[in-house]
Amino acid sequence: MLQDGLPKDWRQALGAALDSPSFQELERFVEAERKSATVFPSEQDLFSAFRLTPYADVKVLLLGQDPYHGPGQAHGLAFSVQPGVTPPPSLVNIFKELETDVKEPRPKTGSLIAWAEQGVLLLNAVLTVRQAEPNSHAGHGWEDFTDAVIRAVSAKEDPVVFLLWGKYAQKKKKLIDAKRHVVIEGTHPSPLSAKSGFFGSRPFSTVNQALESKGRAPVDWRLSR
């Protein structure tokens, strides 16, 4: 079953969503897709974000849309690619802003595992995709599941910073208790929009300021260690 790959803590937090007809249909869909097409990420990487960032440790949620659709790229973390893989354009722009914002030299790897291990949940709204077919698994139930993830994180007692880049992500704001948590909205780092507000937005230092204002430790955004 699809949910078997989820860590126990997340299964407990998402119990109702995992028992829903929507998720059961999603399981059947993904199983059928894997039999008939090349699907990314691999089964073992599907829930990497949840494995690397336990529910109790989430202090930042960065929302993406769907996985990269090229071979060797997606590994279950939004915006991240597997170690040794050339960063795609959106990730290159993230690294450019990281350098400007927190003076972090552009890393040689596109892997964001170091962020995930510090409590940054790198969540895509859709968790699978067919090779070379972006958004091909949208509308098949993943959105119901990841909406439940956002609600579950919003239900945490500890304050969380939600970083929503682009209009797609910002539509999820309604799922968040903005009175208890911090919601930061910004321009998406894609090549189509980065120059229209992403560059110069200083999202990384802004997130850390928000965390510290809530009494939480900042994220060490360095990837070149």
Q: Tens of pLDDT along 78-135?
A: 999 998 899 999 999 999 999 999 998 989 889 999 999 999 999 999 999 999 999 9
Strand partners, 162: 61, 183
pTM for this structure? 0.98
- Mean pLDDT over all residues of the chain? 96
* Sign of the dihedral through C-alpha 16, 54, 216, 118: negative
Phi, psi of 24 (to 5 degrees): -65, -40
Do the Cβ atoms of 26 and 142 come closer than 8 Å? yes
- Residue 56: pLDDT band (50, 70, 90) is very high
In the prediction, which pLDDT does 152 show? 98
Q: Rounded to whole angstroms, how far apart are CA atoms 164 and 64?
A: 8
Q: How far does Cα 154 stand from its chain's mean position?
A: 15
Q: Is the pLDDT of residue 1 over 90?
A: no
Q: Is there a catalytic annotation at residue 66?
A: yes
Mean pLDDT on 186-207: 97
Do the Cβ atoms of 145 and 102 come closer than 8 Å? no
In the prediction, which pLDDT does 108 show? 83
Of all residues in the chain, what percent carry a pLDDT higher than 70? 100
User: Which among 4, 9, 66, 101 is annotated as catalytic?
Assistant: 66
Do the Cβ atoms of 61 and 123 come closer than 8 Å? yes
Q: Is the pLDDT of residue 159 over 80?
A: yes
Mean pLDDT on 43-63: 98
Q: Which domains does the chain have, with CATH numbers?
A: 2-213 (3.40.470.10)
In the prediction, which pLDDT does 126 show? 98
Q: Rounded to whole angstroms, how far apart are CA atoms 89 and 211?
A: 28
In Å, what is the CA distance from 124 to each residue of 107, 152, 215?
22, 15, 27
In the prediction, which pLDDT does 224 show? 72
